[in-house]
Structure 1
Amino acid sequence: MLVRSTRMLVLGVVVAALASCTSVQHAEVPATHTDDYGTPVGTQPVREGGDLVMGLSNEPDKLDPTTSSSLYMRYVMSTICEKLYDNDPSGALVPQLATALPTVSADGLTVTIPVRTGVEFADGTPFNAAAVETSLKRHFSMEGSQRTGEMGPIKEIETVDSTHVAIHYNQPFAPITAALADRAGMIMSPAALKEKEKTFGESPVCVGPFKFVKRVANTSITVARDPLYYDAAKVHLDSITYRIMPDAKSRAQALRSGDIQAADTMSPSDVEALEKLPQLKLLQSGSFGFQGLYINLGNVDGAGKPIKPINSPIAKDPKVRQAFSLATDRQGLVRKVFNNWYEPACTPIAPRTSYATRASTTCPQFNPERSKQLLAEAGVPTPYPVTMQVMNVKDQLDYAQALRDSVAQGGFDLKIVPAEYSGMLDAQKKGSYETLLLGWSGRIDPDGNTSRFLTTGSSGNYSGINSPVLDDLLGWAAHSTSAAQRGALYEQAVRVIQRENPYIYTYRLRNLTVHSTWVTGIEVYADGAVRLGKAAYVADRKG
């Protein structure tokens, strides 16, 4: 604690110095499109039964909420694996398998969660507080877990009684409810975990409107209605098939033909034409997340392992990374590549959220001349070559090529290496990359967009950054219960991030989902997950 306190005493001096050398900046551009999250079925008449096919833009990793790092896994799991909490369309946190928001002790060290009664997992195992304890402990302590850092400095997890679980902390941890509204809050059948601890993701068993049926690698994932679900009266479809369709043009054509009834992540180049078709409806929302470029500073033996130096200019010299950031024309790129459907992203703090301020969402000004000056100061000959892995899909390749042209003006020679999504997730975790163009779907609490990726030792620290100052800022922001203090700390953290640039934030997408008008009840929120669990075909559908 003495070391941490000493560091905090000098943070004001460090931040002031950082602010004095910050480039001229401008705020992120506000969205110009109108959100439509979709609406629940409610009381409208619908047809019972039917099979729905969704075109899924990428193959999920294993369907294990403890180890997964894929957005597409969240799509599937939203139908078969409910969480303690969820987001609603407004971004508020609401109970799901819990019955109310947690109660927090006066000292902030004990968080007590009330959970549902009369609920069964898909295998018939009773859902209760002990089952919740089992899952939370697995998320927190299992080797290879991607959830540990998201859950904070936990001292102990215990079952208080059959309907209450308590999480005891070494320090207060304000983001825990938001973390439990994502994979850390997904509760798995303890019987299934006991039977197949290491292979749970191959046939997951949870509480949800649907249950897992089968997976055909690189082809599809099928789920079927679960008759044991506690809210079964609100489930209408017989089954959902997630068809793996990485090509956006193929998804668009399948929607037009009726071969699929829904598709995520539609390309801005297709969406304007699709939304004009009477048989299709566009859902769209802003995003808590961001897209950008990981730069490998020290991830040699794998994320979360001890950081080791990498002897390349972009890895060891912040000036080179700052030069890359200044050579990235964020506004011009989203205009050219995405026709302004997306917006520039400059920091991990999402605009229009509780902790967003002008200072925490500002962008470095596009300045290729200053970029070349920084490269000269770093003693780097130009054009300086940088290798970037990028998903082998058209929108991503188009962006990568436009980014290559942009940074070339600042003295960089960007070499593009197309890769499959699963391979990029592996490279991200193993550290087998120089730079990697890959995004994050975002979380409602800024801790979920920062600490996981930027804290020393975190299993999600894919860039291998090691900044004691940033560790302290993010740690104190998570432990503070004052919204104003948290916002101020995130402003300071952003200044450190924009000095070190372990990740170059580039743009913030809109979640663009299209579905057939024969289907209702599909919803998509700013957390990026498409919700199909309580969708249905409209009552007058024929055939």
Structure 2
Amino acid sequence: MTTSPRTPSTLSRRGILLATPVVLGTGALAACSGSGSGGSGSSGSDGGGQTGGTLTIYTTGEEMSFDPATSQSLAITSLGLTARRLTAWKTSPDAPTELIPDLATDTGTPSEDGKTWTFTLQEGLKFEDGTPITAAAVKYGLERSFAPELTGGLTYHKVLLEGGEDYAGPFSGEHLDSIEAVDDLTLVLHLNRPYGDFGWVASNPAFAPVPEDSGQPETYATQPVTSGPYRVESYSPGAQAVLVRNEHWDAGTDQARAGGPDTIEFALAQDASVVAQSIIADRPDAQDSFLASFVPTAQLVQARNDPKVGDRLVTSGPGALEYLVLNTESEALKDVNIRKALQYAVDKEAYRTAKGGEISGDFATTLITPGIAGREEYNLYAEAPSGDAEEAKRLLAEAGAQDLSLRLVIRDDQTAAAESIQQALTRVGISVTIQPLDANAYQSEVTAGDGSAYDMVLSAWQPDMPSPNANLTPLFESTQIGNGNYNLARYANEEVDAALLEASSTLDADEAAAKWAAVDKRIMEDSPVVPLIYSKNSFIHGSGVENFVIGQFPAYPNYLTTTLKA
């Protein structure tokens, strides 16, 4: 999703399309590990942590919503504290993220043709009011997400469930037959095509249970009936959201959540620089807290050079893909050899330096990002990150490209990074005009436009789940061109469309991984984008926080397992 700075708790529909690495804000949508001062993806003890205390999470966002139907929250961030789903994620800095059961007893059982998925709920699960969590409640929660009154949530299930394209939610008394609550514990979902990653889709917010006698659009965002370890005690927009323990949550049924703190307070509308200073100094009121947004550049330098900070500064491994979009419909870039010349012309070293140096990310050559099982490393173009200007000039000459002039559209906070692209292309004889846009203009002219406003765009992508499908399909399938979608390269290749469909329909994980790796490389042969870096994200917490873990995917801390020291 195109973003202004935001926090992991709000991440993105079909991924986060970033202008710059996200600074997460709560409310509504990323090499080796290492931090500037010794952090390596996790800090604190390796045990289960302590129970008790109040954890404060500082966020720049002014509002929060606890309605799973409208949420783009990653499975490990804010909404995961209050809303369980059919499946969940187990994150680790040492291994790819694993899909695990949550409400269900397993991660879903597909039929032989891959079009019917069955989930069996655990027995004895309860909402915060003590009423049973049933298959009917999960059905109703899913149905609510189709209602036009509830917009903004993830849409994977909406295009996969049979009849979903014509369904408008349950508030008029209509139900979706492809979501079948067979009995209190059995949910059967009928898809319109085979889909191998549906177990991952079932970890999305819409798969949280909602009691049918609640869930009204006007109130549920702030007065949810929760299924996770916490319930909402109070909420004041622009100030604070307070979560307290849900006494009906059973830790023995939950593999994903520690449920450590007694209370979790979200401090809203915070200045990230001010908060970072307090946590760096480890002031008493900041010791049991962490900053949900990335550490701002000035404070990051300060924290890296302060020996008292130590492993309280935690930097992720490589995460979201930052890339240069090449508009394949642009007259200047229709020739694939000109686009390939840009692969050699771009200086990724200079780009990374403009972003803050080595701590900002690792050099990228593939579209599938690190931390996703089945990813294969390859490089079709320049061996050196600084590029190969002579090869770029040769390809341009072969293509007969003379006096090439390109428009590079950016967000208004990307100037330094854009200038590194401009300078690299200038050295091979390409003139680049940089056009900064504010968020509204960017949305109108880039994601919702007809492609005429730009030749190139600086962007980034954080997938919603650790699946190659979430890396590739939103960015490169031809149906995702225009209308607010994210195929900004306006790339259309029938062969690739068919390969994407085949890979997503493959149930065997190893077979699917091989197909995804092949389509990744096939897309890069057409050069619709130039991969630049895989972003690294730096976070900071107080000395009272432990089990603050950033897994290989996503490059954000796992809120669900963070605890406080005794």
Alignment TM class, shorter chain as reference: 0.7 to 0.9
User: Sequence identity of aligned pairs in percent?
Assistant: 20
Give the structure 1 partner of residue 54 of structure 2.
Answer: 50
For 1:528, give the aligned amino acid.
Answer: A
Q: What CA deviation, in whole Å up to 9, does each residue of 1:261-292 have, x standing for no partner? A: 31242357654642544356123332453222
Q: Which 10-residue stretch deviates more, 376-385 or 95-104? A: 376-385
> What is the aligned partner in structure 1 of residue 505 from structure 2?
479
3-state SS of the aligned residue for 1:358?
A: coil
Counterpart amino acid of residue 407 in structure 1: L
Question: Does residue 1:347 correspond to 2:366, yes or no?
Answer: yes
The SS at the match of 2:358 is coil
Q: Distance in 2 between matches of 1:172 and 1:469?
A: 19
Task: Provide the residue aligned with 1:313 in structure 2.
Answer: 332
Contact map agreement 2:42 2:549 (CA 8 A) in 1: yes
The CA distance in 2 between the partners of 1:471 and 1:220, in whole Å, is 46
Partner SS for 2:42: coil
- Which residue of structure 1 lines up, in the alignment, with residue 469 of structure 2? 447
Q: Which residue does the alignment assign to 2:408? A: 387
Partner of residue 171 from structure 1, selected from 177, 184, 193: 193
Q: Alpha-carbon deviation of 1:515?
A: 0.5
Q: What is aligned with 1:85?
A: 87
**Alignment partner of 2:491: what SS?**
coil
Corresponding residue number in structure 2 for 1:31? 32
> Matches of residues 372-383 of structure 1 in structure 2 within 5 Å?
372=393, 382=403
Deviation at 1:516, TM superposition (A): 0.6
Instruction: After superposition, give the CA deviation of every residue in 1:188-231 in whole Å (9 maximum; x if it has no partner).
Output: 554443x217x865766543333454363xx5552421435514
Alpha-carbon deviation of 1:481?
2.7
Q: What is the CA deviation profile of residues 506-529 of structure 1, one whole-angstrom value per residue up to 9, with x for unaligned ones?
A: 211223221011122433322134
Q: CA deviation at 1:100?
A: 2.0
Aligned to 1:240: 265
Q: Which one-letter code corresponds to 1:348 in the other structure?
A: L
Structure 1 residue aligned with 2:388: 367
Q: Is the Cα contact below 8 Å between 1:63 and 1:204 reproduced in 2?
A: yes
Query: 2:470 and 2:367 mapped to 1: Cα distance?
Result: 9
Bigger shift: 428-437 or 348-357? 428-437
Aligned residue in 1 for 2:320: 289
Distance 2:64 2:347 in 1: 32
Gaps of 5+ in 2: 1-30, 163-177, 252-257
Q: Once the two structures are superposed, what CA deviation does each residue of 1:464-513 show, in whole Å capped at 9, x if it has no partner?
A: 43322111111111112334432332233223322444443221122322
User: Deviations for 1:247-269, whole angstroms, at most 9, x for unmatched residues?
Assistant: 5x445323224365312423576
State the one-letter code of the partner of 2:308. P
Residue among 227, 230, 240 paired with 1:207:
227
CA distance in 2, matches of 1:229, 1:528: 31
- CA contact 1:82–1:208 (8 Å) conserved in 2: yes
Note if contact 1:139-1:145 (Cα within 8 Å) is conserved in structure 2.
no
1:293: how far off? 3.6
One-letter amino acid matched to 1:85: T
Cα distance in 1 for residues equivalent to 2:521 and 2:437: 32
How far residue 351 of structure 1 moved from its aligned partner, in angstroms, is 3.6
Output the CA distance in 2 between the equivalents of 1:289 and 1:349. Answer: 10
Confirm or deny that 1:506 pairs with 2:532. yes
AA partner of residue 148 (structure 1): T
Which one-letter code corresponds to 1:519 in the other structure? V
Three-state SS of the structure 1 residue aligned to 2:375 is coil
| Pair 1:61–1:50, CA change in 2 (3 A) | closer
- Assess if the C-alpha contact under 8 Å between 1:151 and 1:176 holds in 2: no
The one-letter amino acid of 2:40's match is D
* Paired amino acid for 1:99: T
Match of 1:488 in 2: 514
- Give 2:243's aligned amino acid: A
- Specify the SS of the correspondent of 1:405: helix
Task: Specify whether residues 504 and 224 from structure 1 end up closer, same or farther in structure 2 by C-alpha distance, changes over 3 A only.
Answer: same
* In 1: Cα distance, 2:270 partner to 2:326 partner: 28
Q: 1:102 aligns with which of 99, 108, 126?
A: 108
Asked if structure 2 preserves the Cα contact closer than 8 Å seen for 1:334 and 1:507, the reply is yes
Which piece of structure 1 moves more, 373-382 or 205-214?
A: 373-382
**2: distance between equivalents of 1:426 and 1:119?**
45
Separation of aligned partners in 1, 2:370 and 2:40? 14
Change in Cα spacing, 1:282 to 1:158, as seen in structure 2 (3 Å) is same
Given the superposition, is the C-alpha separation of residues 408 and 78 from structure 1 closer, same or farther in structure 2, using an over 3 Å criterion?
A: farther
Q: Which of 274, 292, 302 matches 2:303?
A: 274
Residue identity opposite 2:41 in structure 1? D
Task: Evaluate the alpha carbon distance shift between residue 521 and residue 74 of structure 1 in structure 2; reply closer, same or farther with a 3 A threshold.
Answer: closer
3-state DSSP of counterpart to 2:235: strand
Q: Which amino acid aligns with 2:241?
A: T
Change (3 A) 1:43 1:170: closer
> Does residue 558 of structure 2 align to residue 531 of structure 1?
yes
Q: Distance in 1 between matches of 2:459 and 2:62?
A: 15
Q: Secondary structure at the match of 2:196?
A: coil
CA offsets, 1:36-68, max 9 Å, x none?
Answer: 33467855555x333513244x67897655555
The 3-state SS of whatever aligns with 1:438 is strand
Q: Root-mean-square deviation (CA), in Å?
A: 3.9
In the alignment, the residues of structure 2 paired with residue 124 and residue 379 of structure 1 have an alpha-carbon distance, to the nearest angstrom, of: 72
Change (3 A) 1:115 1:295: farther
Measured at CA, do residues 245 and 465 of structure 1 come closer, stay the same or move farther in structure 2, by a change above 3 Å? farther
1:456 to 478, 488, 498: 478
Classify 1:279/1:237 alpha carbon distance in 2 versus 1 (closer, same or farther; 3 Å). Answer: farther
Indicate the SS of the match to 1:214.
strand
Partner of 1:304: none
The worse-fitting range, judged by mean Cα deviation, of 80-89 and 227-236 is 227-236
Aligned pairs, number: 484
